[in-house]
Amino acid sequence: MVPTDRVIEFIHYTCIDGIAGRMKTLTEDEIIEQLDEQEQLLSWLQKANEILFSAVKTYLPQVFVNNDPDILEYAVKPLLAKSGPLDNMDVSLRLLYALGKIKKTVYADIICLSQFSQHVQAENSSLSFHDEMTFDFIANLNAITENEQLFSAIRKMKFSSFEVFNTERYGNMIKTGLTLAVTSLLKELTNENSANC
């Protein structure tokens, strides 16, 4: 996958580096590169969830405060801290959705990505991008199915004759579709973020 040269504001979010708790900013190209480096489906899903959760955690403080430093320091930081109640993707997303801060489709897609990752990991499965279960999964992601051109191309390749069908090409197309879905979800989170600030 060739990264784009364009830098889109939505990707300039601050994410939390889990190892040292450092903050860093990622560009669209860096996100695409990080996802593209993942050769296995499970590692791709884990990286995608890490990126999405970082974006959610970046968005959450703005839901609670209007730049009040005391509220941020003594109420919000403990909620978002490691082992805090909002240090969980499902809980954080449910809160954002319940407060009307994210669209239902964004909520559903991120939850779906998280649950599929958990399923693949729990099954200790060696699922790959070209497996039937992966196609069934992406067929339920709004961020992919709403991009009719992309989803149509994936369906055509999946159901094409054997001469045209190449599992590696098909798997790469699925991976590209999933990567586009993640960047689309990040856009939605940032659009919601800027609309609510």
Domain range summary for the chain, segments of one domain joined by +:
9-196
d(CA 56, CA 74): 20
Summarize pLDDT for 152-181 with one digit per residue, the tens.
999 988 887 665 568 888 899 999 999 999
**CB contact set of 141 (below 8 Å; sequence gap of 6+):** 109, 112, 113, 178, 181
Residue 193's pLDDT band (cuts 50, 70, 90): low
What is the pLDDT, as a whole number, of residue 165? 62
Report the residue count for the chain.
197
Phi, psi of 13 (to 5 degrees): -105, 160
Q: Please tell me the predicted confidence (pLDDT) of residue 123.
A: 82
- Helix 41-64 to helix 89-98 angle (10° resolution) is 40
List pLDDT tens digits, range 13-61: 444 444 334 446 778 889 999 999 999 999 999 999 999 999 998 888 8
pTM across the whole model: 0.81
| Three-state secondary structure readout of the chain | CCCCCCCCHHHEEEEEECCCCEEEEECHHHHHHHHHCCCCHHHHHHHHHHHHHHHHHHHHHHHHCCCCHHHHHHHHHHHHCCCCCCCCHHHHHHHHHHCCCCCHHHHHHHHHHHHHHHHHHHCCCCCCCCCHHHHHHHCCCHHHHCCHHHHHHHHHHHCCCCCCCCHHHHHHHHHHHHHHHHHHHHHHHHHHHHHHC
The class that CATH gives domain 9-196 is mainly alpha
Determine the pLDDT at residue 152.
92
Please say if the pLDDT value at position 126 is more than 50: yes
